[in-house]
A = this chain, B = another copy of it.
Amino acid sequence: MTKVKVGVAGYGTIGQRLADGVALQEDMELVGIADLVPSLSIRALRENDMIGANNVKYDLYLVDGADPAAFEKYDIPVAGSFEDLCQKVDIMLDSSPGGVGAKNKLIYEKLGVKAVFQGGEANSVADVFFHGYANYEKGVGKDYLKLTSCNTTGLIRAVDCLDRLIPVEKVAITIIRRVADPGDYHRGLTNALQMDKAPSHQALDLMTIMPHIDATGILVHTPVTHGHIITVLVTPKEGKITKELAIEAFRKHPRIRTVTIDEGFKGNASLFKYARDLGNRRGDMYEIAIWEDSVVESGNDIMFAINIPQESVTIPETMDAVRAAMKMQLTCEEGTAETNKYLKIGRFK
């Protein structure tokens, strides 16, 4: 089997995890990663002799403007330029800082390379705003896809899961957002909740991906780092989504963990601890979690709470995007199943 050749632009919080995700897909080859400066993340890679997940070597390419001497200072080997990398790959996963992806696209177009952009880019950069479950088929064969952001990705997983059960009419969300990632010093809140203007962009994004649904919501930032929590109120077009039906559907979904407070999952920090205890690389988790003891009925509507592991939740759907764009699998069922297999998602089911 010829493996699909993949590169990763930007080795930050998302880029590192994209590289790890590709390294785990046995039908993909991680050709290399690209970055601008010898960040601590790249220095950590160097400390491991450039060996990343699944014992794969991560070759480093330098983007335009990088200073080779800065990398030499730390004895970090460099394999070539960003264009060198692009010329060797079939598809780029672009997790550059917001806005840079649009510039990189000029190179991708020039070299005839496909690309998957992350949530920070404008929707206009892509042919399709993509989610592995909600619109996989729309991405099949496309050149430029953009992933939903972390909150939206997890939210759509849950809403799509119910929508397949009973068509959904309306969604109202409250996002209790972690304000920073572990290790962030450039942003943070201290003893404060912070309001965003409503409606939240996540609700708007959901409507772009699932246009038959009316969505709105409010986002509040909170001073924590280990996962967003979203409460979701879902109104069906007709009929009633019972608590039992909803829980049963969530339990069957490979990318959803159903948990309870009673068994010890007290909040977002429990899930981070559990992922560390699993020995997951970086303490990451690909699944969202839904608390079964949060599920309540409101008339015909259903309400529940999701945990979103913000650093890693988009990785599976990005692997799906590669599969769709490269026509590796032509349907959601096949594409997500392959991704899940290599990422060992759903092994706990």
Contact = CB atoms under 8 A, between A and B. Distances in A.
Question: How many of these chains are in the complex?
Answer: 4
Contacts of A24: none
A229 B195 contact: yes
Given A53-B279, A176-B220, A198-B303, 10 more contacts: A41-B277, A45-B277, A181-B273, A190-B224, A191-B191, A193-B224, A195-B261, A197-B293, A199-B296, A277-B282
A217 interface: yes
Interface in A247-270: 261, 263-270
A212 B188 CA distance: 40
Interface of A: 16, 39-41, 44-45, 47-48, 52-53, 169-170, 172, 174, 176, 178-185, 187-199, 214, 216-218, 220-227, 229, 231, 233, 235, 261, 263-270, 272-274, 276-279, 281-283, 291, 293-299, 301, 303-305, 347-348
B217 A172 contact: no
Contacts of A293: 195, 197-198
B267 A194 contact: yes
Interchain residue pairs A-B with the least CB separation, the first 4: A183-B273, A192-B269, A44-B277, A188-B190
Contact of A268 (B192, B227, B291, B296): B192
A216 B304 CA distance: 11
A232 to B, nearest CB: 10
Given A198-B293, A273-B183, A192 B267 contact: yes
Contacts of A190: 179-180, 184, 187-191, 223-225
Contact of A347 (B47, B170, B193, B299): B47
Contacts of A220: 176, 229, 231, 267, 305
Chain A binding surface, main DSSP class? mixed
Nearest to A197: B293
B226 A40 contact: no
Contacts of A221: 267
A298 B45 CA distance: 38
A270 B188 contact: no
B294 A193 contact: no
